[in-house]
Structure 1
Amino acid sequence: MSVKNPVETLLQWAQQKPGQPWLYQSIDGVWKGYTWADAEAQVRSMATALRALDLPPGAAIAISGRNTAHWVLADMAISMAGYISVGLYPKQSPDHIRYILNHCEAKAVFVGPMIDLDEFMGALPEGIKTIGFPYPNLPICDHQWDDLVKAHEPFAGYQAPDPKAVISLIYTSGTTGNPKGVMVTTENLIFATQGMMKMMPAQGQERFFSYLPLAHAFERGAVELASIYLGAEVWFLEDLNKLAEQLKEVAPTRFFGVPLVFGRIQSGILKKLPQKKLSRLLRIPLVSGFIKKKLREGVGLQNARYLIAGAAPMPMSMLEWFESIGMPIMQGYGMTENNIYATVNLPHANRNGSVGRANPGADMRIAEDGEIQYKHAAVSPGYYKDPAKTAELFTEDGWLRTGDLGRIDEDGYLFITGRVKDIFKTLKGKYVAPAPIEGAMARNGDIDQLCFVGTGLKQPIMVVQLVPGNKPREQIEQGLIADMQDVNATLEPHEQIAKIYITKDAWTIDNNIMTPTMKVKRNEIEKHYLEKLHAIADDYATKVVWEA
């Protein structure tokens, strides 16, 4: 393979620009930089230390905790030493942690900063070796990062692995059942990263802000690996409570987010500048440009040439809102099984409502049943230790089944129309695809999250969580009913929203209603609320119900 792998590229930068900072870590609000030479030295010594632990060749080594400089350094050291890296989400359930570590037979785990550390440590299988990252308030581990680095000579004689060999396992966060271990090869990573560089080449010194989980293929590819190949800086968010503050400090040159994050940015702006006043100011030609500039600076996105949204569909209303304030957001699409290499909108080729055109070399087709399918070199070879699920993942002629439904317009833009497994049947015996209806209803600015359910109901009900605020109930209800009527006017009778059910409790990762990548778990919503929905279903007069 002519293109260098990530480890080889790291070593190249350490030779070409040893003193240039690569990773920036904040501890108690103070940033510390690690140059390419610093990174190389730590990665080499840690690779030697891992070999000294006498682990079996090709053993799995897990990395835990929130995003940190050492998460990335550990990933590179594992690869250099010839082992397989396995990322763990910082707020994963103990059952899933235990399952993943047992399933991949992990022999060691890097322990990083996270909430619920005691729970995490209690979930570790007996006999697994622990290596503590050098951060405050971490538990005592079998080994400490700094001690291992100091005690071992730099690793020499690195040999690049076979491009088709598995170098990492990415366990899907899963909306149902146990996570599945997606196998990732060097060839997968290089193909996806090189393709992304063609679409979004470096422009001067790039600066990334890392805050989405590195255990997910989206952040790992778009930030960790892209930074290595582009020679870009990476600044790591210290704490979720500091997101707004540190985003402004870093002011990245490209910003990747999920709809929930962009929704929070929108809410933050509207709290300071209500929509009526904002709309009035944007209509004044001499003021509009100034306001847009100040808004970008206010949230820390004044340098961002690319604002990319992925992981879940973004409502058209939100896309149009951000475009109106001079922050056009480009939607992309992908899945762990194709290393998030599928489609993306770009500034010069953007169609709102779509998820973009196929990436370079990403062959894409729509099957007869409407399923989106792919075949290219970034597609995973399958699921670890699960030949049955792997067989289900591919068609007879070798195309990856995404499980998503879509259509491609005359210009090649892909539109997601639903999810094969999300389609439900009401008591009327009619099938409903919830995704487009959820996307249409998400135009309402008071809605933070929503889920359209109808299994076992005569007519589907929209379950929503509201944006926190002090808006009068009557005003919220009026807006919801107006939007519901507008959406229903476009639907078949069996698809129409019967009523809106407003939940009292927040939907979070902690209460298992959202995945670590901030997707709503439809089956958990049904489990939590279906009994309550049945109780109110026959009251046809009431259109908005607040959970008691």
Structure 2
Amino acid sequence: MTYTTPVQNLLKQSKNNPNKVYLHQPIARQWQKFTWTEVEHQARCIAKGLQSQGYEKGSRIGILSKNCAHWIISDLAIMMAGYIPVAIFSTAHHNTISFIIKHADLKAIFVGKLDDTSAAESAINPDVLRIAFPYPTASTTESFTSWLSKYPPIENVHQASIDDTATILYTSGSTGKPKGVVLTYKNWVSAAQSTALKFNMTSNDRQMSYLPLAHAVERSLEASSLFIGYEIYFVESLETFIEDLNYGKPTVFGSVPRLWTKFQSQILKNIPEKKLNFLISIPIINKIIAKKIRTKLGLECARYFVSGTAPIPLSLLQWYEKLGINISEAWGMSETSSISCINLPYVKSDLGTIGKPIDCVTMELSKEGEILIKGDAVFSEYYRDTETTSESFTDGWFNTGDCGENTASGAFKIVGRIKDKFKTSKGKYVAPVPIESLLSANTDIDQVCVMGAGLKQPIAIVVLNNSISKANTEAVEKLKNILIDVNNKLESHQKLDYILVCSGVWDIDNGLLTPTLKIKRNAIEQKYMQLINGELLGDIIWESEIASI
């Protein structure tokens, strides 16, 4: 396959489709549209502004903002000017922002849409130039808007080699300090182009950009949109998400397990589970109901549905399938430039697996069952960390840290992270992910984490949907039944001692979820350690009824 850089693709799209709309940005509920020509023009002006600061080629320039059109335009401008973009999660705390600025030696940083500007205000050093996107944001010395009139478009765009460094992606730091994943243009675009071709995408397709652009998955969406020429719609806020989804009507829609669970909860809030199960069991009526639900979500035009970044319960995939939403589970990492393996074309018998590798990578299992990967999309180094880099590769294969299995069809199945396995006091190892997947068959369970290091038996900590309380006898009975059902499927050392129902949710703000909505096992275990180490009696235990942490 011939690889082309994002900037090369932008220039091609602008030349061939100058007046076609590329980016759709909602601002105060009004949709602002950017054509290919406008995106190129603005990127050239911003690139000129950056070059005027006198930075050396290869300097690192940061972007700290929620997703928006200006994020992508600035990303392209940084590359046009010959610099390296470094993305920072918009939810990052002071210490993370400060660490990345220092570690990457950022010369400047674009700051934009942020729910809370205090971390940015305190973490960005005075000697780092701040450029504000046209939204309320942290205080800055320069602005994106003023640069559009202050600087003329750059004439000579930097032409990067396919093997040059394209970007540095910092991991979400769920187990410590973030690591800087150095991606070359070949790494980045090989995954994006291979995925776009696998989805048979055309310039008539549409996608929503709402998962963090600081993450590999969304950066791959950016690169594939430039390669194919399809449109991107942004979301104004969490409150307007469904409204924006209905406006954009994506033809390909990807999400994370946490949000698929949230969608399910909203559907069941409007249609009780028993009633929905009855309606979708009736021929003809089931198709009408399923279409109505997809339409209400804004997904009536979607050809493909995807879930990634964390394991998704098989029961949830099967539930959505009844609604005509066939979710292809995907797998990838920052180190593999986004999706590397996916159940696409969608194969029903491969539900519960991540399918097979895309064209630009090769995957296999080690003797210990760890997934190994190599190919054009796989990175070659962590920024300024030769020791970790060396430890991460074996004979050219990247050690992913994920435990896997191969099915009879040749598909890969994730059974958890190696580091997530824990040993009970009986000396037996337990993998939590398969047990969590079984528990998720109970649609009242919103979040779940199985733990038990040093305990006589594993336990499950859960957060329930819609503030379900102990007074809800039906919900309590369902919890008791799922505990019995799950334990009947487990070996003796895996059986759950009890389910602990938490009083509050786990989210990014309280440090229990990563920016990509994966649970932080270490943080959750530390938070509830005092409780689970005590003698708790019963099968369903409520945090609200025992001593506060």
Q: Is the pair's TM-score, using the shorter chain for normalization, greater than 0.5?
A: yes
**Alignment partners' CA distance in 2, 1:159 and 1:86:** 17
3-state SS in 2 of match to 1:524: helix
**Alignment partners' CA distance in 1, 2:492 and 2:427:** 13
Match of 2:325 in 1: 327
Structure 1: which amino acid aligns with 2:19? G
Structure 2: which amino acid aligns with 1:199? K
**Alignment partners' CA distance in 2, 1:159 and 1:224:** 19
8 Å contact kept, 1:67–1:210: yes
**Alignment partners' CA distance in 2, 1:345 and 1:161:** 33
Report the TM-score, using the length of structure 1 for normalisation.
0.97
**Alignment partners' CA distance in 2, 1:326 and 1:203:** 23
Structure 1 residue 265: Cα displacement: 0.9
8 Å contact kept, 1:47–1:80: yes
The residue correspondences of 1:111-130 to structure 2 (distance < 5 A) are: 111-130=111-130
The residue correspondences of 1:370-381 to structure 2 (distance < 5 A) are: 370-381=369-380
Percentage of identical aligned residues: 37
Structure 1 residue 56: Cα displacement: 2.5
Structure 1 residue 203: Cα displacement: 4.3
Structure 1: which amino acid aligns with 2:209? S
Q: Does 1:31 align with 2:28?
A: no
3-state SS in 1 of match to 2:241: helix
Report the TM-score, using the length of structure 2 for normalisation.
0.97
Structure 1 residue 2: Cα displacement: 4.4
User: Deviation per CA, 1:366-413, whole angstroms, max 9, x where unpaired?
Assistant: 000000000101101120000001011111x11011000001112211
Q: 1:296 aligns with which of 294, 307, 310?
A: 294
Q: 2:542 aligns with which of 535, 538, 545?
A: 545
Structure 1 residue 439: Cα displacement: 1.1
Match of 1:403 in 2: 401
Structure 1 residue 142: Cα displacement: 1.2
Structure 1: which amino acid aligns with 2:187? N
User: Deviation per CA, 1:80-111, whole angstroms, max 9, x where unpaired?
Assistant: 11111111111111111111111000010001
Structure 1 residue 348: Cα displacement: 4.4
Match of 1:485 in 2: 484
Q: Does 1:279 align with 2:256?
A: no
3-state SS in 2 of match to 1:341: strand
Q: Does 1:238 align with 2:249?
A: no
Structure 1 residue 125: Cα displacement: 2.2
Structure 2: which amino acid aligns with 1:11? L
Q: Provide the aligned C-alpha RMSD in A.
A: 1.4
Q: Does 1:19 align with 2:16?
A: no
Q: Does 1:389 align with 2:388?
A: yes
Q: Does 1:143 align with 2:142?
A: yes
Q: Does 1:308 align with 2:306?
A: yes
3-state SS in 2 of match to 1:481: helix
User: Deviation per CA, 1:52-103, whole angstroms, max 9, x where unpaired?
Assistant: 0111221111101110000000100001111111111111111111111110
Structure 1 residue 146: Cα displacement: 1.4
**Alignment partners' CA distance in 1, 2:201 and 2:302:** 12
**Alignment partners' CA distance in 2, 1:190 and 1:520:** 29
Q: 1:466 aligns with which of 459, 464, 467?
A: 464
Match of 1:418 in 2: 416
Match of 1:263 in 2: 261
Q: How many residues align?
A: 543
Q: Where do 5+ consecutive residues of structure 1 fail to align?
A: none
**Alignment partners' CA distance in 1, 2:195 and 2:500:** 41
8 Å contact kept, 1:450–1:465: yes
**Alignment partners' CA distance in 2, 1:194 and 1:216:** 17
Structure 1 residue 470: Cα displacement: 4.9
Q: 1:161 and 1:238, CA in 2 relative to 1: closer, same or farther beyond 3 A?
A: same
3-state SS in 1 of match to 2:109: strand
Match of 1:431 in 2: 429
Match of 1:102 in 2: 102
3-state SS in 1 of match to 2:208: strand
8 Å contact kept, 1:78–1:85: yes
8 Å contact kept, 1:481–1:544: no
8 Å contact kept, 1:405–1:416: yes
8 Å contact kept, 1:358–1:412: no
8 Å contact kept, 1:423–1:434: yes
Q: 1:346 and 1:336, CA in 2 relative to 1: closer, same or farther beyond 3 A?
A: same
Structure 1, 104-113 or 153-162: larger mean CA deviation: 153-162
The residue correspondences of 1:521-540 to structure 2 (distance < 5 A) are: 521-537=520-536, 539=537
Q: 1:469 and 1:527, CA in 2 relative to 1: closer, same or farther beyond 3 A?
A: closer
8 Å contact kept, 2:499–2:539: no
Structure 1, 202-211 or 418-427: larger mean CA deviation: 202-211
**Alignment partners' CA distance in 2, 1:346 and 1:506:** 33
**Alignment partners' CA distance in 1, 2:355 and 2:539:** 40
**Alignment partners' CA distance in 1, 2:89 and 2:239:** 18
**Alignment partners' CA distance in 1, 2:123 and 2:230:** 36
Match of 1:177 in 2: 176
Structure 1 residue 204: Cα displacement: 5.6
8 Å contact kept, 1:499–1:545: no
Structure 2: which amino acid aligns with 1:125? N
8 Å contact kept, 1:341–1:362: no
Structure 1 residue 162: Cα displacement: 2.3
Match of 1:454 in 2: 452
Structure 2: which amino acid aligns with 1:443? A
Q: 1:253 aligns with which of 251, 254, 269?
A: 251
Structure 1 residue 118: Cα displacement: 2.4
Structure 2: which amino acid aligns with 1:265? F
Match of 1:167 in 2: 166
**Alignment partners' CA distance in 2, 1:111 and 1:475:** 48
Match of 2:133 in 1: 133
Structure 2: which amino acid aligns with 1:498? D
**Alignment partners' CA distance in 2, 1:263 and 1:290:** 22
Match of 2:217 in 1: 218
Structure 1 residue 469: Cα displacement: 4.2
Structure 1: which amino acid aligns with 2:505? A
**Alignment partners' CA distance in 2, 1:368 and 1:387:** 26
**Alignment partners' CA distance in 2, 1:4 and 1:353:** 34
Structure 1 residue 426: Cα displacement: 1.1
Q: Does 1:78 align with 2:89?
A: no
Match of 1:40 in 2: 40
Structure 1 residue 116: Cα displacement: 1.1
**Alignment partners' CA distance in 2, 1:97 and 1:438:** 32
Structure 1 residue 347: Cα displacement: 4.0
Structure 1, 453-462 or 196-205: larger mean CA deviation: 196-205
Match of 2:206 in 1: 207
